[in-house]
């Protein structure tokens, strides 16, 4: 029922997935075949092209997406480049192998009959290599459909967004639906290329009838037309002539909610169309460069993150970020504006099961440090790199945990339930704290800085659309820590759609005004 209610959202993701994977496949097929032909005829090019293609394939796909962000930013362009680079190996290798395995006696016979190089390629090499080329296309199709799922990490959309949204909001039906749809498209793509392989091979043979050739061309034309029509009709990348603004979010349930609140406020009170780039992997690390390049217009940031990770400033002695100074630094260095603060402080904290807290009589972080040899600590990857993260925590409190476990930010609470860890870093607005009977320990040495949330927006957008500033300023001070935790609970535990939770909040906001 929940998935049926989100059918419009899923249709949008399906359209994005088709657009990205089909576009990448088309480019990969053309480039891969041409490069394969080139390296077959040129031994010098083969000596350096093949190793490069092989090397690109060894780079983890997630790393490739991240490496390209400084060069091309986030979104569709980044996704297409990465997918094409990954798809080149099977296409180039199979094209080269197919041409290279053509029997020399057949080629020599054609040469003896006076055929030109082009005639030999067209009449001998290509027809005989075609099964190998189409086999490479079949492998590439399945691979690219699957890899397109990762494009959601850099804001390109696709069915991977359903999977990552499900992971971020603990929504199993969303994870299963996204995974099954990707698998279905991969199977259908493999089946289609398999059928196409048989017909095209027959078509290029000299015995193929004109009727068969027309039928194959007509089928391909109809397929292309249907795919293009579907993506144009449903294409979320098109602005349909409307002015647009882009709202981004980090990959957490809380950020999905806040992103939706901003997006819905703008859509309901202006003529602007909102492009949602939610759940961007890497959070600030990738969103800030996207803001700098103009690919993203606004998102919710936290003062501690902005001060240390964006401005690379050290914390004051009291670990409290001075908001006015933070705001002026952003405007001077980036021409970004902080539109006040939303009202809640989502700072770090340490959390352990309530039962263990009672067993060891632990109330604060210093108590945990004295008993840390009995605890297995788990945190997200980012926590081990942050200036206010793990190493500083150990230096401040003197922890000696039994073991350390790095994991995705959304898996920490799962690890607690499964017994993989029994101490984690948490955020003070996390709904799972209450749902899993965890005790948040007092930061008695005041190690963690404040992380007050606020909307960050490009000044250029405010100049183009001045109506946005008073509209978004209505959110200032309206979301308390308790309110944010309740909204997080609705999404992460009750598994409500962030869009629905955001709409309810906006209705309550209207009643106040």
Instruction: Indicate the SS3 state at residue 218.
Output: helix
Please report the DSSP string for 274-310 in residue order: EEEE-S-TTTHHHHHHHHHHTS--EEEEEHHHIIIII
Give the strand pairing for 376-380 and 403-407.
parallel
pLDDT computed for residue 4 by the predictor: 67
Residue 83 CA to its chain's centroid (Å): 14
pLDDT computed for residue 472 by the predictor: 95
Q: Rg for the chain (alpha carbons), in Å?
A: 27
Tell me how many degrees the CA angle 47-49-52 measures, rounded to the nearest 5. Answer: 110
Q: Which CATH class is domain 244-345+451-512?
A: alpha beta
Q: Which CATH class is domain 2-234?
A: mainly alpha
- Alpha-carbon distance of 216 to 213, in angstroms, equals 5
pLDDT computed for residue 234 by the predictor: 47
pLDDT computed for residue 228 by the predictor: 59
By the 8 A CB rule, do 29 and 91 touch?
Answer: yes
User: Mean pLDDT per segment of 10 residues, for the chain of length 513 residues?
Assistant: 68 85 89 92 88 85 80 82 89 91 86 84 84 89 90 82 76 84 88 73 59 61 60 50 85 92 95 90 86 93 92 81 92 94 92 95 95 94 85 94 88 89 92 88 90 95 95 94 92 88 93 78
Do 2-234 and 244-345+451-512 show the same overall fold?
Answer: no
pLDDT computed for residue 212 by the predictor: 57
By the 8 A CB rule, do 475 and 457 touch?
Answer: no
Range list of β-strands (E), 210-343:
244-248, 273-277, 298-302, 336-338
Report the largest interatomic distance among the alpha carbons of the chain, rounded to a whole angstrom: 93
- Of the candidates 441, 455, 426, the one whose C-alpha atom is nearest the C-alpha of residue 346 is 426
Instruction: Indicate the SS3 state at residue 317.
Output: coil
pLDDT computed for residue 11 by the predictor: 83
| CB contact burial 254-271 (16+ within 10 A = b; e otherwise) | bbbbbbbbbbbbbeeeee
Per DSSP, helices labelled H in 360-423 are 365-370, 390-397, 412-418
CATH topology of domain 348-441: D-Maltodextrin-Binding Protein; domain 2 (3.40.190)
Task: Kindly report the pTM of this predicted structure.
Answer: 0.74
Report the run of H or E that residue 94 belongs to, with start and end. helix 76-100
pLDDT computed for residue 7 by the predictor: 74
Instruction: Indicate the SS3 state at residue 118.
Output: helix
For the chain, give every domain's residue range.
2-234, 244-345+451-512, 348-441
pLDDT computed for residue 242 by the predictor: 62
């Amino acid at each position: 029922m929940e998935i049926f209610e989100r059918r419009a959202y899923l249709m949008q993701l399906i359209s994005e997935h088709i657009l990205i994977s089909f576009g990448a496949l088309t480019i990969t097929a053309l480039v891969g075949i041409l490069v394969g032909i080139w390296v077959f005829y040129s031994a010098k090019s083969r000596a350096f092209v093949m190793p490069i293609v092989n090397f690109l394939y060894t780079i983890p796909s997630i790393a490739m997406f991240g490496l390209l962000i400084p060069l091309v930013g986030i979104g569709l362009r980044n996704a297409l480049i990465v997918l094409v680079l990954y798809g080149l190996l099977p296409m180039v290798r199979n094209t080269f192998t197919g041409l290279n395995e053509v029997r020399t006696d057949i080629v020599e016979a054609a040469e003896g009959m006076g055929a030109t190089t082009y005639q030999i390629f067209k009449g001998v090499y290509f027809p005989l290599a075609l099964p190998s080329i189409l086999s490479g296309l079949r492998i590439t199709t399945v691979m690219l459909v699957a890899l397109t799922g990762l494009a959601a990490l850099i804001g390109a959309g696709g069915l991977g967004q359903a999977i990552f949204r499900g992971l971020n909001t603990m929504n199993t039906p969303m994870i299963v639906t996204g995974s099954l749809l990707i698998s279905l498209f991969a199977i259908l793509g493999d089946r289609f290329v398999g059928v196409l392989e048989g017909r095209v091979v027959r078509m290029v043979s000299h015995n193929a009838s004109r009727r068969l050739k027309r039928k194959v061309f007509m089928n391909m034309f109809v397929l292309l037309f249907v795919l293009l029509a579907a993506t144009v009709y449903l294409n979320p990348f098109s602005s349909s002539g409307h002015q647009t603004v882009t709202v981004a979010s980090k990959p957490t349930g809380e950020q999905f909610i806040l992103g939706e609140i901003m997006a819905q406020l703008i859509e309901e009170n202006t003529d602007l169309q909102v492009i949602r780039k939610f759940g961007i992997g890497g959070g600030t690390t990738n969103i800030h460069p996207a803001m700098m390049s103009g690919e993203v217009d606004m998102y919710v940031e936290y003062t501690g993150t902005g001060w240390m990770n964006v401005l690379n400033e050290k914390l004051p002695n009291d670990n409290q970020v001075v908001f006015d100074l933070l705001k002026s630094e952003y405007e001077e260095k980036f021409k970004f504006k902080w539109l006040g603060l939303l009202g809640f402080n989502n700072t770090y904290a340490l959390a352990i099961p309530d039962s263990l807290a009672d067993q060891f009589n632990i109330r604060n972080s210093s108590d945990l440090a004295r008993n840390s040899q009995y605890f297995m600590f788990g945190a997200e990857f980012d926590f081990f790199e942050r200036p206010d993260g793990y190493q500083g925590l150990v230096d401040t409190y003197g922890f000696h945990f039994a073991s350390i476990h790095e994991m995705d930010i959304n898996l920490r609470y799962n690890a607690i339930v499964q017994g993989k860890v029994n101490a984690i870093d948490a955020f003070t607005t996390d709904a799972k704290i209450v749902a899993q009977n965890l005790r948040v320990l007092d930061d008695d040495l005041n190690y963690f800085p404040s992380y007050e949330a606020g909307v960050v927006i490009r000044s250029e957008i405010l100049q183009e659309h001045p109506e946005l500033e008073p509209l978004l300023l209505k959110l200032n001070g309206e979301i308390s820590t308790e309110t944010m935790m309740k909204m997080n609970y609705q999404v992460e535990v009750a598994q409500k759609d962030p869009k629905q939770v955001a709409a309810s909040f906006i209705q309550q906001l209207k009643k106040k005004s």
